[in-house]
Amino acid sequence: MKIVIILILMMFSITLLIAEQATEEKFIEAVTGGNFELAESYYSPELAEAIQKGKLADIWTSILRNTGEFEVVVESKREEREDFYSVVSTLKFTNVYMDIVMTVNQEDKLSGLFFRPSEYTGGLEQAPAYVDESKFIEEEVDFDCGGYTMYGSLIVPKNQRSFPLVIMATGSGPNDRDEKIGANKPFKNLAQGLGTLGVATLRYDKRTLTHGAKIANIPEFDIDNEYTEEITAAINFLTTKYQGRKIYYLGHSMGAFMAPRVLNENPKLQGAVMLAGNARPTEDLVLEQSEYIMIETDDVNAIRFALIEKAVNEVKKIKNMKSKVEEPLLLGVSKAYWLSLNNYQPVKEAKKMKKPVLVLQGERDYQVTMEDFQIWKDNFNKKDNWHFKSYPDLNHLFMTGKGKSLPQEYMKPGFVAEEVVGDIARFIKSLEE
């Protein structure tokens, strides 16, 4: 009789444990197991309305296409609030870590859900083999830009009385100082690699990242606010800290696109490195990228075609834009911003430049292609102050790969090619001689 009672108690305890499994745990178990109907049953009515039935399967399939197969839940962090709690669960996939961010309401239903690349590194973030941290000092810095505090990282070579300084500007959007994209941090690779080779760098978080809400309320915010203004502030910071040192500019993607304007507006800059800088209008690249991804990923469907058609119509509006009348946004950007882009012609602006320029391009880049690189070469290859080099195996992040580059490539951890770091260091140092 006693044995029977013990067995009943054990079964009751197990039942309690199963019953006490949290909503977020049941959701993750369902979605990673491919049971999307069950997973969607944990939605609150509000979330069910926001993410329509059947969409979760498409979302998960798209994630797996970029991340590789799901392996394990690494950790979950829960934070209690007054009438709900939030959970961030980190999942390990073949290629990368991803976070599932969830909120659970008082009825134990998911009221919020989104997926994002994770900052989790397993406690150990690898550095490229070409980085030697014993050869430089890295410190956190901040400086003023138009009443906003900007935050960055300054790398200075050790045991060098004299060294060149390079200000690094990322691509479009609210990028952090490392230009983190998927599992990669190309600007951190570049900065530490250059520091190892005796070149100092300043990289920073853009104001659109650190002060995004305030910046979004500035209707006239344009490309010069985003780039020229921030670079000028960085120059003022460095010239105060290191008087008499030569300062150079390095821009990637839209940061490279803006190089002619930045150099012409800042005579203190002694030269520029342009990494994957487009020479063609930005809106044309947006459309080109969308079409490329649809075709190369075989993701051809009615929804994709509708999005492409919408993009085509918005590109036409952008090209014909004459006034700053606001709303609606075009391709997610204000009309004032597009007007500033329309009024900026990088090739024409570059013809005023007399300072040395190094243009680098990955031949596998589908975001800024060899067509742009060729435009730069056609216009400036005969100029003594312009230098060009392309790399057959590199993508938009200047990381090595094979075949056609696709977005999921960015989810795989990698490093900026050592050859690129060396070429930049040699170019900058040659200007110091």
pLDDT tens digits, one per residue of 152-173: 999 999 998 899 999 999 999 8
- What is the topology classification, in CATH, of domain 23-117? Nuclear Transport Factor 2; Chain: A, (3.10.450)
Give the type of residue at 344.
Y
**Mean pLDDT, all residues of the chain:** 87
How do 136-145 and 97-105 pair as beta strands? unpaired
Selected residue with higher pLDDT from 11 and 91: 91
- Listing DSSP states for 112-153 in one string gives EEEEEE----TT-----TT--GGGEEEEEEEEEETTEEEEEE
pLDDT exceeds 90 at position 336:
no
In the chain, % helix, strand, coil (3-state, to 5) comes to: 40, 25, 35
pTM more than 0.85: no
Q: What percent of the chain has pLDDT over 90?
A: 57
Mind giving me the DSSP string for 227-290?
Answer: IIHHHHHHHHHHHHHSTT--EEEEEETHHHHTHHHHHHH-TTEEEEEEES---S-HHHHHHHHH
> Cα dist. 416→7, 137, 188, 205, 257 in Å?
60, 20, 9, 19, 20
DSSP 184: B
* Tens digits of residue pLDDT in 283-319: 888 888 877 877 776 655 555 556 666 666 666 676 7
Of 319, 353, 312, 357, the C-alpha closest to 335 is 319
Q: Which range (91-100, 133-142, 201-210, 423-432) has the least confidence?
A: 91-100
Query: To which residue do tokens 């230098």 refer?
Result: 387
Domain-by-domain residue ranges, the chain? 23-117, 133-430
The domain defined by 133-430 carries CATH number 3.20.20.220: no
